Amino acid sequence: MEHIDSAAVARLYRMLRLIRRTEEETARIYPSDKIKSPIHLSIGQEFVAVGVCDLLRPIDAVAPGYRGHAAYIAKGGDLPAMIAEMYGKDSGCARGRGGSMHLVDMTAGVLGASAVVGTGIPVATGVALAAKRQKQGRIVVCFLGDGATEEGCFSESINFAALHKLPILYVCENNGYAIHEPLSKRWATDRLCERVATYGIPAEKIGDGDVFSIRAGAERAIAGIRAGNGPAFMEVTCYRWREHVGPNEDFDQGYRDRGEVLPWLENDQIPRLAAMLREDIRIAIDADVEAEVSAAFAWAESAPFPSPDDLEAFTYA
């Protein structure tokens, strides 16, 4: 591991911890039914969004999928507005109409997510086309699951982005499953990066679950994108610790074995980075994160629901 400065460790640790604690709190509250939307937690996968988004500037954009809490928070999306959105409140980031799968914060550069697998890919590609034409140096990062690579729009979009040299980084969070279906039942080969490379763009797999490796990989990819060389692709191996949708574990469901998660628990980047920090710094970060998370939930809880008079607002017809 190359030298990493302590400010970067503290920054990455804080973000990992903020996302983890937000999602743990979401899972804890979920059975109370105060959270009105389905939730797809990224617990265990946070390091992907954190490593990549650490390199982005406010003007850059990210496109999260429906498992999007980590990308939203890591890009600087408003946390109280995200929690209020899950509570169905009017002050939610989508005015309480969308829930967890439809996060958006255009001020922070978080493009609106959707519940439909893969839909962020062509949208992010279109935003990258606009960014290229606007010539302000803006780049786009599109997060997608391994399942989303099976949608036709994935191939169409990367071909288009490669042809037009668009400033976009596609990041595939390969957690090995689409709902309960493992890769072995879906892909004839797992050589995803080779498939993508044939479109004429650099494609790198990061398989060690190390937030610094991901950050370094993203740094290489983004350097090329910012230099005007066109798109790049990263495949990051990760693992979903909880059930596909909902707050619980699901190792009793018969489609995967608890043994699969053990190396990932061992590799958890949060205690790893905590151990790299000076004790007093870590304690201060933890306290700060707890305060931020509880304030966000308290604000969401006390916020008003949308008025019934607004039932037909924001509809096209």
* Binding footprint of Mg ion on the chain (CB under 5 A): 145-147, 175, 177
Q: Does 124 bind ligand TPP (CB under 6 A)?
A: no
State which residue, 59 or 179, has the beta carbon closest to ligand TPP.
179
Q: Does 67 bind ligand TPP (CB under 6 A)?
A: yes
Neighbours of 257 (CB within 10 A): 9
Q: Does 98 bind ligand TPP (CB under 6 A)?
A: no
179 touches, from ligand TPP, Mg ion, none (C-beta below 5 to 8 Å by class): ligand TPP
> Which residue from 59, 106, 116, 291 is in contact with ligand TPP, where contact means CB under 6 A?
116
Closest CA to 236 of 180, 192, 186, 184: 192
Annotate 227-293 with DSSP letters as a single string: TT---EEEEEE----S-SSSSS--TTSSSS-GGGTHHHHHT-HHHHHHHHS-HHHHHHHHHHHHHHH
Stretch that binds ligand TPP, among 113-121, 130-138, 250-258, 279-287 (CB under 6 A): 113-121
**Cα 258 from Cα 250, distance rounded (Å):** 9
Contact set for ligand TPP, span 227-256 (CB under 6 A): 244
Contact set for ligand TPP, span 156-195 (CB under 6 A): 175, 177-179
295 touches, from ligand TPP, Mg ion, none (C-beta below 5 to 8 Å by class): none
- Beta strand 61-63 pairing with 140-145: parallel
Q: Nearest approach, Cβ of 68 to ligand TPP (angstroms)?
A: 9
State which residue, 46 or 146, has the beta carbon closest to Mg ion.
146
State which residue, 91 or 175, has the beta carbon closest to Mg ion.
175
Cβ-proximal residue to ligand TPP, closest one: 145
> Which residue from 39, 43, 148, 222 is in contact with ligand TPP, where contact means CB under 6 A?
148
State which residue, 44 or 217, has the beta carbon closest to ligand TPP.
44
**DSSP H helical ranges for 30-151:** 46-53, 69-74, 79-86, 120-134
115 touches, from ligand TPP, Mg ion, none (C-beta below 5 to 8 Å by class): ligand TPP
Q: What angle do CA 200, 201, 204 make, to 5 degrees?
A: 130
172 three-state secondary structure: strand
51 touches, from Mg ion, ligand TPP, none (C-beta below 5 to 8 Å by class): none
Q: What angle do CA 221, 223, 228 make, to 5 degrees?
A: 100
158 touches, from ligand TPP, Mg ion, none (C-beta below 5 to 8 Å by class): none
What six digits make up the tokens of 170? 């596609």
Give whole-number Cα distances, 95 to 31, 110, 116, 166, in Å.
23, 15, 20, 32
Indicate the angle between helix axes 211-226 and 46-53, nearest 10 degrees: 40
Interface residues with ligand TPP (CB under 6 A) are 67, 115-117, 145-148, 175, 177-179, 244
